[in-house]
Amino acid sequence: MTAITAKVGEKCPQGGTWHPVGNTHDTRSIGVNNIMPPTPNGEAHWVLQKATGDH
């Protein structure tokens, strides 16, 4: 299965728990269609860790 990713500044494609690429311990809950926030250490994108029902 391919990981779902989203770049900083894009609309969130799938609600759930996200983490910056390469940093699985720093998670954020982000809802579908919200703008992906800046990452804590300047990473380029977020990776979906656990999806919720909104998509």
* Span 30-42, average pLDDT: 96
Q: In this predicted model, what pLDDT tens digit does every residue of 19-32 receive, in sequence order? A: 999 999 999 999 99
Residue type, 4: I
Whether 1 has a pLDDT exceeding 70, the answer reads no
Q: The tokens of 15 are what?
A: 């609600």
CB 28 within 8 A of CB 48: no
Our CA angle for 49, 10, 24, nearest 5°, is 25
pLDDT value for 55: 61
Is the entire prediction scored with pTM above 0.95?
no
Query: Is 45 in contact with 7 (CB distance < 8 Å)?
Result: yes
Residue 51 scores a pLDDT above 70 = yes
